[in-house]
Homo-oligomer: A and B are copies of this chain.
Amino acid sequence: MPSGTITVTSTRRFELIDITRPISQAVATSGCVSGVCHLYNPHTTAAVTINEGADPAVRDDLVTALTTIVPFNLPYQHQEGNSPAHVMATLVGSSATIFIEGGTLRLGTWQRIFFCEFDGARTRKLHWKILADGA
């Protein structure tokens, strides 16, 4: 089954980047009619999530909340200074699974797929893999 990797470039330390378009294109190109599309982030200070894309304020609010919820002033032992980013990676998660039906991603009305950068700016990768279900 088809699989691949997209490249994502962040411009800030914390940033949610809408990757719905390249993932939708991968699904269209695959020819898969029915199945699931798995997304996998191979980085330890980044993540992938699905949330509202209609109002860009939501992705900014997510950054505002995450950088408040995860403390920056704890006695972290990891010496790179990015322990909060590692914590966010675990809270948000390294993978997402989206259904494919009728040859397209079955996202909700307001849903978009976001790559979550927690230690940018950087160039990152996100892997995708499609499993058809034979329907």
Contact = CB atoms under 8 A, between A and B. Distances in A.
Contact of A77 (B36, B43, B57, B97): B57
A36 to B, nearest CB: 6
A87 B111 contact: no
The copy count of this chain in the complex is 3
Nearest to A39: B97
Nearest to A65: B87
A86 B53 CA distance: 11
Interface of A: 1, 3, 34-36, 38, 40-44, 49-52, 55, 57-58, 60-62, 64-66, 68-71, 74-80, 83-84, 86-87, 89-99, 101, 106-111, 127, 129, 131, 133-135
